[in-house]
Each structure stands twice: as C-alpha cells, then as structure tokens.
Structure 1
C-alpha cells in the first residue's frame, strides 16, 4: 500500500481533470477546501508521528539542523516550480515550452517524500491526500496550456512513480539505513514548509473562511486518530 496509494492519488487526480474536461477546476472553491484539509492532515501526521520518531533517533541539534535543511531545500525547489507543491500553478499563455523546471522540482520533492512511508504507514495517507489536489491542479495547468495528451500522461506517470521509487530506495538500499533518520528530518522540513504555506496563506480579502477552518480542524482530528 505504501507504493500503491501515493501512485493512485496522482493518477486519480489527473484523470479526474482529463475525463471531466474541467481544466478550470483550480478556480473552484472545493479544491481550496481539499488543499486546506490535506495541508492540515499532512502537518498533523508529521507532528504526531514522524517528528517524535526522528527526535528519538537523532541527538542534540541534528534534528533541527536537518529539518531546517529540508525547509531550505523546499524553498529552492519552489523557485523552480513556482510553488506547485502547495497549489500555486500559474498559466502563461505566451509559452508552450514543456515545463521542465516544474517537472524536475516535483520529481525531487516526490522522491524524497517517499522515504518515510515504509516505516510510518500513517504518513502514506498524508501523502495520498496531498497528492490528489496537487495532481488536479497540475493536470488542469497542463491541459489549459494545451500540451499534447501524451506529454500530460507521461508527466503524470513519472510524477506518480517518484514517491513509490523513494519508498523502494529507502527500503532496499541497505547503505542508506544509517542515514534514514537524517533523510526523514529533511522530509519533515519539506512537509512543514508546504503544509504551513497551504494553511496560513490568506484567502481573497485576507478573510479566514469558516469552511476552511472546518476543513483544517477535520484534518487535524482525523490525523490524530490514525
């Protein structure tokens, strides 16, 4: 399931846009609620499950150092993706070039987030819920940008494979075993950054909508009982 669910999350989100032909789905209110829920859910699972384990295995300031490294890495990746990891995807009608920087950034991000999944099954659900709205937004962007369907499907397929690939590498490459806690600390930094960006960015007019608050609270409560 650690391999299958994150993969299916991307495929489901992508095909939802393709088959419904709703390339403007990113402008619909439900996707914002889904993003809020997924951000709260992922952040809560990280704090409840992954963070205590990493602090247990690392000594001194090492945990904080590598978490900050993860935050910094995610900031660098977002200079390439323009914030796609937390739902900021903008269409540029004057360019039909394949978005290689977006593709590379998302692949690195997805590969790393696969590392904690085989040791922390609960994180699998957080990654799944994170993947679905991001896949919807990315596919809507690609469709609106009028890329060939073959390009869109290849983009989604590779993107979907990267998280299971990270899980596979972390499980089967024995040389990485001594460094898993350090890598997981980096992933915590990545999760903290993207989830807090999703949660704390303001809506139009800087209003904190009740529906968004409800989605956030629901994500926290469900994460607590997983």
Structure 2
C-alpha cells in the first residue's frame, strides 16, 4: 500500500532476515542470475522488505522465461483495490490488499502448464506473520505437509483435477505470497517436480522483487 499506508508499512519489524530457497534435489547445481538454469531456481537471501499493491501483477512475470525452455502464455490479473479485513490476534482486524495472476505456460514439448500467484500486502508485518503461521498450522493439521523450505517459507504437493503440482507459501515483511504451478494431465509428480520447483522459485522471486518498494529502507530485524 502506498500513500497513507506507507508510514505503517515502514514500521514493520520482522524478527530476522528471510532466507527463501526452493526445495531442490540432492546435487542441484543452482540457478543463474536469471533463475532459469540448474535443476531448480534458488531464491536469494533477502532482508525483509516493504511491499506495495499492484493492479497488474502478471506484468511482474514477464521479461524472462518462467523456467528453462518454458514460455509465458495468456495471463489474467485478479487484483482487487479494496482493502480487506483479516482476523488477527487478540481480536484485531488488520487490513490487507490482495493481488493475483493466473497464467498459462508452454513447456519445451509444447504441452500447457498452469501458474497462479496470490500476494497479500498487509498494513504491517506482524499481521502478515500471523496470517502465514495460521495457514501453516492449518496445512499441518490437515496432513498437507508442510515441506519446510525455511522458517518463513514452505512447499506443498498440489493437485488440479488430476494435474500434479506444487505450492510455495512464503512470508517477507508485510507480504504473504502463495505461488502454485501445475503440470499437464498425464504427468507424474516424479517426472515434473524439478520443473515445478524451478517455475515456483522464479515466479516467487520476481513477484516479491516487483512488489518491493526499493526506495524504502529495509525494516530493522
């Protein structure tokens, strides 16, 4: 949020630097600067940041391939400018604004994959942290994982009407970001996991960086 909400955003005080790394196979060679090579894209170590809402989140995914050999196809923004109320701790109702993107991806063999991302930008870091922890607890309680990436990021297996996929959820400062990717029908999770992880890593890094207010100083830990 910008304008009147910027002062509140700058008061965010996350507890530690966030290390975001997508879970990769043993022996992964890592990614290049563009995050499109290696067995999976590895997200850089970044300090917590201040983030802004955007009405065109899909634009954050353009400019580079989603993963090695993949191309970004049609994309649809699902951004809502209206602030929403969350159910916070101690009866508080913090505000956040949500923006999202749904996109088709074309694989190296011409098959179509799917990518979706939802970013929630809160008025402060503590409500964002609480929302992330609540989601993590729910996923654990329902036996959906999580597969820990870091203390503030985790991955889950996902399914879209028989299409194998993966979901990455992370928290950075005032931002809670969920990214999911799905392979074509007929794929097996074992066959596509490397590509799914690469797509998730690249998308998460680009969205977080694109929403980050680079003029604002990083909140102190």
TM-score under structure 1 normalisation?
A: 0.34
- Higher RCO (CA-CA < 8 Å; seq separation 6+): 1
TM-score under structure 2 normalisation?
A: 0.35
Higher strand share: 2
